[in-house]
Structure 1
Amino acid sequence: MTTARLFRRHALLLAAALALLPVSVSAQPAQEQAGAAPPGADRPVSADGLRLPEPVATRHEIVVDGAPLAFEATAGVLTLTGSSGEEEADIAYVAYVDPEADPARRPVTFVVNGGPGAASAYLHLGALGPWTIGFGEDVIVPSATPTLVDNPDTWLAFTDLVFVDPVGTGYSRLVAPSDRTRDRYLSVSGDIAALADFVVRWSVENGRAASPKAAVGESYGGFRMPLLADALASDRGMALSALVLVSPVLDFAWISPVETNLMGRVALLPSLAAAALDKAGEASREALAEVEAYATGAYVSDLLAGLSDPAAVDRIVTRLADLTGLPEDLVRRQAGRIDARLLARELWRAEGRVGSLYDTGVTTPDPAPTRAAPRYRDPVLDALTAPLTAAALTLYREKLAWVPERQYVLLNGGVSGSWDYGSARSAPEALDELASAMALDESLAVVVVHGLTDLVTPYFASTLVLRQLPASLHARVVEETYPGGHMFYTRPASRAALARTGRAAIAGEAP
């Protein structure tokens, strides 16, 4: 298997994101696990022949902390062009601004989700925007009516917001799809160039070139952010003042399949233990301190000793059975090599349920408990698709008065399946660009936030990667972990904590 294909398979596990693909848990190859893409999303970017309507601006007011918060919303499109001026891509966006604020002082924050192939609705309607919908903390019901309500934790309280849907997501499409434009926009480098072009164009056209600028990305969007900051500063002459990385992957090598990567097991172990603690209502970063120390100490030593050392295997089996709560005979059959899918199913087997890879605390009945290999729709990622899509359509029609004549695509498996990660032999990583951006601008604020029970992008992977930064840079990174999983903001307390952290980073106000 080529390196590019390997990375593409790894990326399917990320989804989101919100990180984020419609993944069904099964024993099939990763690309087959993507499940059914939304109708019309079988190609990375469809040529539907439709163009997006002109931007529409509307005025609104919500109540936050008992006080009115007025703002202007603009839903619209920014068309990116090629080097010779030809139109290439319609990028849909929603911008929320305070029209009374001083644009030279009021921050503006650009927001994208991940996948690649996910629209920005996850962060938009789940955490940052002026309206949100209710989510179940233990069970998410796809058929529940999504009602838009004022978001008490909206980031509009301290920054303007621009939610961006990359090509192939939301309403964004290539204008005239061709192999050349697909190759450009569906790639690591082309995607970053397009996002940088968007940020510059939107800022200039809206009189915000001098405004403080921040960026938020979730999952693969978190991977995007350091690259975007570096590209803006080095190639576009426009700097970001803050980065907030939500459930990011910073280095693909640390989340590759654990069968081939011992450090992937080290990075995942604390989240496996967090799942068991969360089930007992006891998950916290403090409670996991001993697990983290074990993961980077005796655990990695015994992993390196390998299966040929029975004593090392025995030690791992005993400890992992205790940490995960799984039956010791099951752990022994696996020689202590517990992966995310095994734990998500077996942790809840006695209850006849299965947990989500995105948040092990969210479960659904196991539809096939007698199967040797698990096969089920993810209780978070797949369950969120219908309510978030319905909420996005309601938002565009009832709040924003902008209704394109084309399909809205929340998740596009074709985009992720066609993504070009490059041909280099090393895994894609964003740590180099993060270090470069932080070194160039010593005032750049960086926040990395994870959910404890996320098995897709484990929090400890980011912790270990960030430790590789020089001490002076590492000291400037704020790391936070909250109850919940990949989309931890579905839990109201974690959403509120994220808002406080974002306010401190972007507006410089103490949380």
Structure 2
Amino acid sequence: MADAKDTAAPAPTNPPLQDELVVTEHRLTLGNRALDYSVTCGTLVLREDEHDADGQRSADKPRAALFFIAYTLKNPSDSPRPITFSFNGGPGSSSVWLHLGILGPQRVSTDDMGNVPPPPYALQDNEHTLLTDSDLVFIDPIGTGHSRMAEGEKVAEFHEYQRDLDSVGEFIRLYLTRFGRWESPKYLIGESYGTTRAAGLTHHLQDKHDVFLNGVMLVSLAIDLQTLEFDHGNELPFPLFLPTYAATAWYHKALAADLQALPLGEVIAQAEAFALGDYTVALMRGSRLDAATRQRIAEQVARWSGLSVEYVLRCDLRPTEFRYFKELLRHRGQTVGRLDSRFLGFDRDDAGEKPETDAAMANLIGAYAAGINRLLKTHYQFEKDAPYVVHAPLWQKWSWKDFANRYANVGASLRRAMHANPHMRVYVASGYYDLATPHAAGDYTLSHLGIRESLQGNIRVSYFEAGHMMYIHQPSLARMAQELREFVSVRSTA
């Protein structure tokens, strides 16, 4: 009788990586205009040179397969037609948010505020799609969507700032070559950590692949993480979050009556004046702050944040973001959202320092997951039993080797790219109710890039009365979409 080990089935292995592409044809009717377009959906294999013992190049070793969805307009009137590469953040998020929120031909249905309908949710034709003015390529970084590593590769190797740039940058180069798009005006758009990636790519593409961009669109800016991390000894986030605390409290009618009577813009302007003035000076003084000044500052922080003076004092004048989500409306039994503080949540009880979940994310993720899975199978005929990873917590183990023992700040990459390519323009979208990447933190970052005065006009910042995904708010969606169309339609005359 044969040994059991002789008859046991071999251990399963993943099939070798190969390009998997499906092309389908579609039409979108927008008023009197019909958009005929093709969708290329699938994976491109990223390869790396292998060398023999003598150091000679012997083969291209497959390392990973990146999943993407590309929309290409047929018979366009503009030639060469612009192309926009899009990705989201996390790190650990697929490209689904910008795809089904504002850019693609279909979007997730929401009401005017941004609430989704009950499950199974709905998709609708997107009259605001950027496809009217640019072809679109949505990229899912490794570990998201249907992107995966080759057999034997370590997943963690790709979950690092520079390796992420390497893989996404190589995909962009490969796509431009494979699909003959080198002559097209080229744009990037990223959201949240996607702005970190996009800022890094502006210089990486120049330096590594000789790709010079026409523009980059940064949605909910996060390129200097010192502005966002509430660490002991880092005073920067406290004044930069306060204007958004004020906007949030104003929205939920938690400010004093005289402030509630003001328009939102005036509330934010006054809160910023205090935050970047007396509040910042007080924080810098630390324990040297005298008791009378400490009390006065606490009263002002409470006035603009909607918190009580007693709570601000208990926080040593420094209410962090998760404490704020829980504390502001604790007396009402509600929490406020992180990605969009207009949204309200409920916990099991009203004790504790932070909410059980982000009410804004809970509102959206089911609808976006259903939407992308429906599109892939029903419309784009991409058959895959493996789950499409909408959002994974890759940020928990993300590596920052290039920024060891200091805060990650990729602003220098954007500055170097702009100085090397003065034709490149930058569009920034910020939400007044974004408590993940507040608008004041973005403004601080932009004002500290070190961009020469002659290029300051290349940067445009727009503010929206919405949150991190400002495009779920219908008035913000319409204005932002128009601004993006204008941005990719500009041609340099220099």
Give the TM-score range, shorter chain.
0.7 to 0.9
Distance (Å, rounded) in 1 between the aligned partners of 2:352 and 2:387:
38
Shift of 1:197: 0.7
Structure 1 contact 142–384 (Cα < 8 Å) conserved: no
Distance (Å, rounded) in 2 between the aligned partners of 1:323 and 1:133:
35
Distance (Å, rounded) in 2 between the aligned partners of 1:364 and 1:52:
44
Change over 3 Å in CA distance of 1:187–1:103 after alignment to 2 = farther
State the secondary structure of the residue aligned to 1:97: strand
Matching residue of 2:344 = 363
Do residues 79 (structure 1) and 59 (structure 2) align? no
* Structure 1 letter corresponding to 2:357: R
Matching residue of 2:172 = 199
Matching residue of 2:132 = 157
* Structure 2 letter corresponding to 1:431: G
Deviations 1:2-47 (A, max 9, x none): xxxxxxxxxxxxxxxxxxxxxxxxxxxxxxxxxxxxxxxxxxxxx8
Distance (Å, rounded) in 1 between the aligned partners of 2:410 and 2:78:
31
TM-score w.r.t. the length of structure 2 is 0.88
Matching residue of 2:256 = none
Change over 3 Å in CA distance of 1:283–1:120 after alignment to 2 = farther
* Equivalenced residues, count: 460
Matching residue of 1:57 = 23
Structure 1 contact 133–391 (Cα < 8 Å) conserved: yes
Distance (Å, rounded) in 2 between the aligned partners of 1:157 and 1:141:
25
Do residues 392 (structure 1) and 368 (structure 2) align? no
Distance (Å, rounded) in 1 between the aligned partners of 2:388 and 2:372:
9
Matching residue of 1:420 = 399
2:76 maps to which of 88, 97, 101: 101
Matching residue of 2:431 = 451
Shift of 1:350: 3.5
Shift of 1:128: 0.9
Structure 1 contact 72–96 (Cα < 8 Å) conserved: yes
State the secondary structure of the residue aligned to 2:20: coil
Shift of 1:324: 1.8
Matching residue of 1:13 = none
Shift of 1:323: 1.0
Matching residue of 1:40 = none
Bigger relative contact order, structure 1 or 2 (CA pairs below 8 A, ≥6 apart): 1
* Structure 1 letter corresponding to 2:220: S
Shift of 1:141: 5.9
Matching residue of 1:407 = 387
* Structure 1 letter corresponding to 2:61: E
- Paired residues for 1:433-472 under 5 Å: 433-468=413-448, 469-470=450-451, 471-472=453-454
Matching residue of 1:349 = 330
Shift of 1:330: 2.4
Structure 1 contact 284–452 (Cα < 8 Å) conserved: no
- Paired residues for 1:328-343 under 5 Å: 328-343=309-324
Structure 1 stretches of 4+ moved >6 Å: none
Deviations 1:79-138 (A, max 9, x none): 101122111111110000112126742100000001111000011111111101123566
Deviations 1:246-302 (A, max 9, x none): 112111111111543111112111111111122249764454122222221111111
Matching residue of 1:493 = 475
Shift of 1:491: 0.6
Identity level (%): 28
Distance (Å, rounded) in 2 between the aligned partners of 1:138 and 1:354:
18
State the secondary structure of the residue aligned to 2:369: helix
Structure 1 contact 223–249 (Cα < 8 Å) conserved: yes
Runs (5+) with no aligned partner, structure 2: 1-12, 51-59, 254-259
Structure 2 contact 114–472 (Cα < 8 Å) conserved: no
Change over 3 Å in CA distance of 1:284–1:400 after alignment to 2 = farther
Distance (Å, rounded) in 2 between the aligned partners of 1:418 and 1:48:
24
* Structure 1 letter corresponding to 2:383: V
* Structure 2 letter corresponding to 1:57: V
Matching residue of 2:211 = 238
Larger Rg: 2
Structure 1 contact 283–452 (Cα < 8 Å) conserved: no
Matching residue of 2:243 = 270
* Structure 1 letter corresponding to 2:404: A
Runs (5+) with no aligned partner, structure 1: 1-46
Shift of 1:318: 1.0
1:118 maps to which of 93, 115, 129: 93
Q: CA RMSD in A?
A: 2.3
TM-score w.r.t. the length of structure 1 is 0.85
Do residues 173 (structure 1) and 148 (structure 2) align? yes
Change over 3 Å in CA distance of 1:313–1:239 after alignment to 2 = same
Structure 2 contact 122–367 (Cα < 8 Å) conserved: no
2:34 maps to which of 51, 68, 72: 68
Structure 1 contact 466–474 (Cα < 8 Å) conserved: no
* Structure 2 letter corresponding to 1:209: W
2:466 maps to which of 476, 484, 492: 484
Distance (Å, rounded) in 1 between the aligned partners of 2:361 and 2:178:
36
Deviations 1:218-255 (A, max 9, x none): 10000111211111112201111010001121111111
Distance (Å, rounded) in 2 between the aligned partners of 1:50 and 1:493:
47
1:505 maps to which of 482, 487, 491: 487
* Structure 1 letter corresponding to 2:486: A
Change over 3 Å in CA distance of 1:139–1:59 after alignment to 2 = closer
Distance (Å, rounded) in 2 between the aligned partners of 1:86 and 1:191:
18
Shift of 1:452: 0.7
